[in-house]
């Protein structure tokens, strides 16, 4: 997520990066938890379980599908 608070940005301009450490820590924790949950579901339900979402949010997001072939 990038927010330009004033003016415009051109290639080669110096920038100041500010990281919201609390938000980043929450995203990191949810990302790791998603991997652990996915692996546990694969072990219990089978290799056909797939992780669908490719992003994490501070509040968490898990999208997993279980489609078995007939």
Tokens at 30, concatenated: 């949810």
Is the pLDDT higher at 52 or at 4? 4
Q: Model pTM?
A: 0.55
CA distances from 4 to 7, 9, 14, 21, 44 (A): 7, 8, 13, 19, 46
Pick from 27, 24, 40: nearest CA to 64: 40
pLDDT, tens digit (0-9, with 9 covering 90-100), for 7-63: 999 999 998 888 899 988 988 888 888 888 888 988 998 888 877 766 667 776 666
Cα–Cα distance, 47 to 60 (Å, whole number): 23
């Amino acid at each position: 997520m990038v927010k330009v608070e004033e003016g415009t940005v051109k290639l080669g301009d110096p920038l100041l990066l500010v990281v919201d450490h609390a938000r980043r820590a929450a995203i990191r924790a949810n990302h790791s938890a998603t991997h652990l949950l996915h692996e546990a579901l694969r072990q219990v339900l089978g290799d056909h379980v797939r992780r669908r979402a490719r992003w994490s949010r501070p509040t968490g997001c898990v999208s997993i599908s279980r489609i078995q072939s007939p």
